[in-house]
Chain A
Amino acid sequence: MNMTLWSMVTCRWAARRIQRYLDADPAAWLEPDEVSRLQAHLAECARCTGRVEEYRALGRALRAWSDQRGPDPLMVARLRATAEQIITQEPA
C-alpha cells in the first residue's frame, strides 16, 4: 500500500518533468539527480514510460506533418534571390 502511494507521488513528480527531460532545452535542464531519479522511475513504471512514448510519437508526428506542409522551394529560391539583391543593390 505504501509502495502504491509512493509510486503515485513519484508518478506526479515524474509527469511534471518528462517534457523537460525529453526536450533537453538549455534553458530548462533537469538537475543530474532529477534525471537519475526520473530514469529509475521510468525503468519500473509502465504508465510513465507510456507517457514518454506518447510524447515522442507526438513529436515525430508533428515533424512529419510539418515536412508535408513545408514551403514551396520556389518561394525559398525567391527569398534567396531577394537576399542577393539586397546585398548587391545596397548603395554604399
Chain B
Amino acid sequence: MTRSRAAGASGGKDRRQSPGSAHVSGPASQPVISDPVGERQLARERAFRRYVEPDIDVLLRVAYTLTRSWPDAEDVVQDALIRAWRAVDRFDGAHPRAWLLTILRHSHLNSLRRRRPELIGDRSELEGHRPAFGARAADSPEQRHTDREFSTALDRAVAGLDPRYRVVVLLVDVDQLSYAEVAELLGIPLGTVMSRVSRARDKLRRQLRACSAGEGTHP
C-alpha cells in the first residue's frame, strides 16, 4: 500500500513506505518517519493554498461591497481566512468559491453583531465616499475631468439605489459573482437575486442615460 505522498507542497521528494514500519532507509540513508499529524497538516496547507489564497483579492472586494469600508473589509477577510483555515480540512473541494463566500458571510454577520446598530445600513456612508487609495491616475487633465464627472455620476446613481438592490448589482457586475454565489453569500433565493439585479440595472441605466443627455439631476 502506498502512503506518505506528503512532500508535494514543500518541495520534497515523494517517498514510499510500507504500513506499520517505523522507518525505512532512503537513498541517502535518511530515515523517513511516519507522521500522520504532519501529513494532515501538509494536506491542510495544500488545500488552503489551492482554494483560499488565490481568492484573497476576490474576498476583499466582496467584503468591501458588503461593508463599504476598506478597513472593515480587511477585518472581515482576516476573520474569514482564519475560519477557512479551521474548516479547510473538512472541505470536499466542490465549489470552492461558494464555500469561501459562505465563510465570508459568517465573518461579515459576526462583524455586524459587533457594530453599533445605528451604523448598520446607513446610506449616507456611501454618499460622496471616496477611497483614500487605489485610485488610478488619468492620462490627461481632460481625461481626468471626464473620468471624474462620470465616476461622480455613477457614485450618485449607485448611492441612490435601495441598499438591498445596490449590494446585489455590485456583487454581480463589479465583483463578478454568479447569481448562485450571490444567493449563497446573502442567504436569499436565486430569483430574488435576479429580480434585484435587474431592477438595479434598469434604474442605473435610466439615471446614467439622463446624465449623458446633459441634464444633470443635481445642482
Residue numbers of A with Cβ under 8 A of B are 19-20, 23, 25-28, 54-55, 58-59, 61-63, 65-76, 78-80, 82-83, 86-87, 90, 92
CB distance from A28 to the nearest CB of B (A): 6
The residue on B at minimum CB distance from A69 is B131
Excluding A66-B61, A83-B53, 8 further A-B contacts by CB distance (< 8 Å) are A19-B197, A23-B179, A63-B173, A70-B61, A79-B56, A87-B49, A87-B85, A90-B41
Tell me the interface secondary structure of chain A in the complex.
Answer: helix
Q: Is B106 an interface residue (CB 8 A)?
A: no
Sample (20) of A-B pairs whose CB atoms are under 8 Å apart: A19-B197, A19-B201, A25-B179, A25-B180, A27-B180, A28-B194, A54-B205, A61-B154, A65-B154, A70-B134, A71-B70, A72-B134, A73-B134, A74-B133, A76-B56, A76-B57, A76-B60, A79-B77, A82-B78, A83-B81
Q: Is B135 an interface residue (CB 8 A)?
A: yes
Contacts of A65 in B (CB 8 A): 151, 154, 174
Contacts of A28 in B (CB 8 A): 179, 190, 194
Residue numbers of B with Cβ under 8 A of A are 37-38, 41, 45, 48-49, 52-53, 56-57, 60-61, 64, 70, 73-74, 77-78, 81-82, 85, 131, 133-136, 147, 150-151, 154, 169-170, 172-175, 178-180, 190, 194, 197-198, 201, 204-205, 208-209
Contacts of A86 in B (CB 8 A): 48, 81-82, 85
The reply to whether B134 and A69 form a contact with Cβ atoms under 8 Å apart is yes
Contacts of A23 in B (CB 8 A): 172, 179
Of A20, A74, A80, which one neighbours B56 at CB under 8 angstroms? A80
Contacts of A73 in B (CB 8 A): 134
The reply to whether A54 and B209 form a contact with Cβ atoms under 8 Å apart is yes
Of B133, B174, B204, which one neighbours A72 at CB under 8 angstroms? B133
